[in-house]
Amino acid sequence: MNNIVAIVGRPNVGKSTFFNRLIQRREAIVDSVSGVTRDRNYGKSEWNGKEFSVIDTGGYIKGSDDIFEGEIRRQVELAIDEADAIVFVVDVEEGITPMDEEVAKLLRKVKKPILLVVNKVDNAMREKDAVEFYNLGLGEYFSISGMSGSGTGELLDKLVEVLPEMPEVTEEVEPLPRFCVVGRPNAGKSSFINALIGEDRFVVTDIAGTTRDAIDTKYNRFGFEFNLVDTAGIRRKAKVKEDLEFYSVMRSVRAIEHSDVCLLVIDATRGFEGQDQSIFWLAEKNRKGIVILVNKWDLVEKDTMSTRDYERKIREEIAPFTDVPILFISALTKQRLLKALETAVEVFENRKQRISTSKFNELMLPIIEATPPPALKGKYIKIKYCMQLPTPTPQFVFFANLPQYVKDPYKRFIENKLREQYNFSGVPIDIYFRQK
């Protein structure tokens, strides 16, 4: 389990630059899916061997300056609720503004680690100006330059030092699949969970997850045994406007990181919206199994084409990762709930399948021979050998003489062929080309 660090502050103080600096080393490795710049507000970072998740609250605020105040207040309150540590960014050029004072007032009451960061300090003169931020009453501050990166080392040293220890998740001998139910507010997550487990709740044991109330509840129903990761936060209505995009994403981070398969519940009457997409890419980025459940299907006017059209629209939105099961359900009439569970179990099995190296080569090498990677600068790329890596999620490596010349379209071609041959439905896979 990772700690969650939230970056807060008013607009234009350089939160995003700082956020990008935190995640850039990792992002290059983690986010190898080309063209996925969809959600630049969440990433993973690592310092001194400690990994943590970072959320930039600023990227979610849309609108002009005058409506900002209430929005920022809500986001800071949510960050206080959900994060394990908070980085408050201010701008030395502008000095202390009334909005900074507002944020500081909220943060002074909090028992969690708060780091005050004075940004844009790129010369000795500004170092002197930074002193005024002691007036915010948050104690010591860190002066940095988000652009050049100076000062971020000391800040990160302090950050990993103050992050609380996360409890180790103990695995059973054969770990039970962990399913989490995520989605935007009011999509019907709670009704789905209640319909699934029945009011009588066949609860075997409640395993307290983390301090942040991600509860693993062990269920045994319909012949399936699984852990349901339910973040109490998803049930708890915060003092946050329901339509705040940030709300559903922030609430989902912990549940997603803590699970094997995400059941993304969307509201059929509203379609696959921006928020649903953010949560989808969050699960994809974390390499989790995904099943999309279109809930409230009983409320939609249907003709012969509707499920097909609806499904096609969703697949267009989630391209290039389209090999994802999409089910039309109703938590109210209990339609296809069993199918939803069966599919989640299937995706869990797909995600942990292992392919023997000899079989894999036997199958993939002829395909590659028939359609080799296009030559570049007159150089021919030869792929001699391939294998699945011994990682928790499916990753495959292909050994080539000139791996640097293999471009994204060919990677996608290989991935599609792989998916045709093996069932990886609902599972993101990584493909690497390496020097043989």
**Which residues are annotated as part of the binding site for GTP?**
9-16, 56-60, 119-122, 183-190, 230-234, 295-298
Amino acid identity, position 2: N
Spatial distance between the Cα atoms of 270 and 278, rounded to a whole number of angstroms: 15
Q: Rg for the chain (alpha carbons), in Å?
A: 24
Among positive and negative, which fits the CA dihedral 76, 274, 256, 388? negative
Rounded to whole angstroms, the Cα distance separating 337 from 68 reads 41
How far apart (Å, rounded) are the C-alpha atoms in residues 280 and 290?
Answer: 8
Phi, psi of 86 (to 5 degrees): -125, 130
Binding residues: 9-16, 56-60, 119-122, 183-190, 230-234, 295-298
Task: Establish whether the linkage from the previous residue to 320 is cis, with ω within 30° of 0.
Answer: yes
- Alpha-helical (H) ranges within 258-377 are 274-285, 306-318, 337-352, 357-370
Instruction: Give all strands of the β-sheet with 224-231 in edge-to-edge order.
Output: 203-207, 214-221, 224-231, 178-182, 261-267, 289-295, 326-328
d(CA 381, CA 401): 6
Residue pair 375/381 in contact (Cβ under 8 Å)? The answer is: yes
b/e burial code for range 375-411 (CB count within 10 A of at least 16 → b): eeeeeebebeebbbeeeebbbbbbbbebbebbeeebb
Residue 113 to residue 349: CA distance in whole angstroms: 40
Distance of alpha carbon 397 from alpha carbon 275, whole angstroms: 33
71: Cα within 13 Å, side-chain hemisphere:
19
User: Between the CA of residue 105 and those of 102, 119, 140, 359, what are the distances in Å?
Assistant: 5, 20, 16, 62
